[in-house]
Amino acid sequence: MKSSRKTNKEEKINALLSRGVAEVIDRGHLEEALRSGKRLRVKLGIDPTGTKIHLGRAVAIRKLKEFQDLGHKVVLVIGGFTAQIGDPSDKLSKRPMLTEAQVRKNMADYKRQLGKILDLRKVEFRNNNDWLRKLNFKEIANLAESFSVLQMLERRNFKDRFERHEEISLREFLYPLMQGYDSVAIKADVELGGTDQLFNLMAGRTIQKYYRQKEQDILINEMLEGTDGRKMSTSWGNVINISDEPGDMYGKMMSLNDELIYKYFWLCTDLKEEEIKKIMDSQNPRDAKARLAFEITALYHGLGAAKAAEDGFNRVFREKEAPENIEVFRAVSSRMNIIDLVVAANMAKSRSEARRLVEQGGVDINEKKHDNPVEEIDIPAEGLILQIGKRKFKKIVV
């Protein structure tokens, strides 16, 4: 029995260090620590730059759950301070600063969403506003001495902006210091993050060394592309959120490019590698994508909701309950305000009529009512069905 438990632990450690992992620093040290029985403090920082957590962020959170399942202490650092400053990682232009009120509003629902993945009873929640706002100018100057301007300019996005003579603020240079100081404040043994976070994660090691702490190990997860093929990012709007309604989540998954199916299976589901390969080898892309959409929707909403979402999607796109010869409207953009979309598709004579239809619940998209007049509608590659009342249908494509 003891041998079986040991084998199971080894399998979990091997999966933790390999599945969806781009790099580990220092791998040998982390492997030894994981096998030693020591309870590690595992850090993940999340800046609440939007109100919702998307699948791209969930990749690291799911990896955090693997540490939690092995008995380690998960420390989630909510960037109440750093979100106001703005992480420049992988940004090709200066990121706007947020107000404290905006950050509080954004993070209001985070715990509920995180509870879809983590056991919140075993999570240590910390807000970096508690310590970063107390740093004085001398302490910040001392931290800044750990880095050179040349090091900062070697970051790809800063290098590109510098060569284009575009503005880079000193505020952006300070961000890695703040993230690094978070590791000191919570005494992190391990920090997780995506490949775009490498510089910030390494800053944690540098600053821990400055404060004579043991340097954290780093586990870097693979990045997930969004619905437009770029890195999934709240600021770009190309996201699938873990709190999306089941029908919306399923529909967005069905709009993915075929070449991303395997990666989404690998990074966003719990299916074993052998099963994923079997699906990819034995099914056409449409059916493989349908299985993917079902698995991810079930993961966050349950089997019943996933089945209802699947049935709803199939009624519209497979079984064609909408009229056979439905008129097609080609939109000029893959993302449009709902009122603009209704008017552009000639489903209402004016914006005021479109607004009234929306607010009164007379507008359905893929059989789901949409009554928010400021909602932005993402139009997937396979299109969507816009319905006004019971008899007016139009298929919207880009």
Which residue did the predictor score with more confidence, 326 or 55?
Answer: 55
Which conformational region is residue 51 in: left (phi greater than 0), alpha (psi within -120 to 50 degrees), or beta? alpha
Does the pLDDT of residue 354 top 70, yes or no? yes
233 CB neighbour count, 10 Å cutoff:
20
> What domains sit in the chain, N to C, each tagged with a CATH number?
2-236 (3.40.50.620), 244-321 (1.10.240.10), 323-398 (3.10.290.10)
Residue 366 near residue 385, CB atoms below 8 Å: yes
Task: Say how far apart CA 225 and CA 208 lie, in whole Å.
Answer: 32
pLDDT of residue 287: 93
| Distance in angstroms (rounded) separating the CA atoms of residues 73 and 71 | 7
pLDDT, position 390 = 66
Alpha-carbon distance values, 24 to 69, 190, 217 (Å): 19, 10, 7
What would you measure as the largest C-alpha separation in the chain, in angstroms? Answer: 73
So what's the pLDDT on residue 25? 94
- Region 264-275 average pLDDT: 96
- pLDDT category at 87 given cuts 50, 70, 90 is low
Model pTM? 0.75
Dihedral Cα 349, 350, 353, 356, nearest 10 deg: 140
Please calculate the CA angle 10-11-15 and round it to the nearest 5 degrees. Answer: 115
Query: What average pLDDT does the segment 179-203 reach?
Result: 93
pLDDT of 6 above 80: no
Closest CA to 329 of 371, 387, 250: 387
Across 212-220, average pLDDT: 96
Contact 48, 78 (CB under 8 A): yes
Q: C-alpha 255: how far from its chain's center? A: 17
pLDDT tier at 1 (50, 70, 90 boundaries)?
low
pLDDT, average across residues 18-34: 94
Q: Which carries the bigger pLDDT value, residue 381 or residue 81?
A: 81
CB 287 within 8 A of CB 254: no
- Spatial separation of the C-alpha atoms in residues 5 and 380, rounded to whole Å: 45
pLDDT grade, residue 292 (50/70/90)?
very high
Structure confidence at residue 330 as a pLDDT band (50, 70, 90)? confident
Average pLDDT over residues 226-254: 84
In 3D space, the residue among 228, 191, 181 whose CA is nearest the CA of residue 72 turns out to be 191
Q: Which residues of 170-201 are buried (b: 16+ CB within 10 A; e: fewer)?
A: eebbbbbbbbbbbbbbbebbbbbbbebbbbbb
Contact 226, 264 (CB under 8 A): no
Q: Could you tell me what percent of the chain has a pLDDT over 90? A: 47
Whole-number percent of the chain with pLDDT over 70: 92
326 has a pLDDT exceeding 80: no
Q: What is the mean pLDDT of the chain?
A: 87
Cβ atoms of 354 and 362 within 8 Å: the answer is no
The helix-helix angle for 246-254 and 285-301 (nearest 10°) equals 150
If pLDDT is split at 50, 70 and 90, which confidence band does 152 have?
confident
Report the range out of 136-140, 215-219, 225-229, 235-239 with the highest average pLDDT. 215-219
Residue 325: the pLDDT is: 57
> What Å distances lie between residue 46 and 19, 82, 272, CA to CA?
21, 9, 28
Mean per-residue pLDDT, 326-337: 84
> Model confidence over 272-288: pLDDT tens digits?
999 999 999 999 998 99
**Over 70: is that where the pLDDT of 10 sits?**
yes
Q: Flag whether pLDDT at 238 surpasses 90.
A: no
pLDDT bracket for residue 161 (50, 70, 90): confident
Cβ-count burial 257-281 (b if 16+ within 10 Å, e if not): eeebbeebbbbbbebeeeebeebee
Which distant-in-sequence residues (6+ apart) come within 8 Å of 47 by Cβ? 79, 82, 83, 87
Compute the distance between CA of residue 83 and CA of residue 162 in angstroms, rounded to an integer: 24
Residue 352 has pLDDT above 70, yes or no: yes
Give, rounded to a whole angstrom, the gap between the first and last alpha carbons of the chain.
Answer: 58
Burial of 138 (0-12, 13-18, 19+ CB in 10 A): exposed
Q: Span 91-119, mean pLDDT?
A: 81
Predicted local confidence at residue 96, as pLDDT:
66
Full 3-state SS string of 196-222: HHHHHHHHHHHHHHHCCCCCCEEEEEC
